[in-house]
Amino acid sequence: MQERNENKINIYLTAKSREALAKRDGKSGSRSSVIQRIFNRYDETCHRYMPKLSEEEKAFFCHIINDISIKESWSVNYLTYDTEDIINQEDTDVSWHINGKKLLAKMKQWGFAEKLAVVDMAEMFAVRESLQ
C-alpha cells in the first residue's frame, strides 16, 4: 500500500503567480521552499498588520466579506470604499452595534497591509463557518 504524504498538495498557478514564482525560483532552492517562504511572509504580514478591532467590528467584517468582491490582490484597496457603501446604503453598522463613522475614519488611515489582514481574517472566518 502506498503511503500518503499529508504535506504534499497540488496547486494550479495563474500566469501572474507563475511569473512571481519564476522571479524567485533558481538558486534559492526548490519551488516548494519558494512558495513556503512567500506564504509565510504573507501570513506574518497579516499577523503583524492586523488593526485593533472590537469583537463587533470583526464580526461586521466577517458578515460583509461575502458582499465584497476581493478576488484580485489589488482589490483589497477597495475595502474602505465598499465598507462605506454598505454602511451608508444599509445602515449595517447599526445592526452590528458599531460606530460606522468612527470605523471608516480608522480605515482611511490603513495601508494595504492592514486592509489585507482584515480581508484575510474575514475569509478565514468564512471558511471555518462553511466547514461547520
50-103 pLDDT tens trace: 999 999 999 999 888 877 767 777 778 889 998 999 898 877 888 889 999 999
pLDDT recorded at residue 11:
84
User: How many angstroms separate the CA atoms of 68 and 115, rounded?
Assistant: 13
Residue 45 has pLDDT above 60, yes or no: yes
Q: What is the mean pLDDT of the chain?
A: 85
Query: CA separation (Å) from 106 to 28, 52, 68, 126?
Result: 40, 10, 19, 24
Mean pLDDT on 14-35: 81
pLDDT recorded at residue 4:
63
User: How many angstroms separate the CA atoms of 112 and 118, rounded?
Assistant: 10
**Whole-structure pTM value:** 0.82
pLDDT recorded at residue 132:
64
Question: What are residue 29's phi and psi, to 5 degrees?
Answer: 130, -165
pLDDT recorded at residue 112:
95
| Torsion sign over Cα 33, 44, 103, 127 | positive
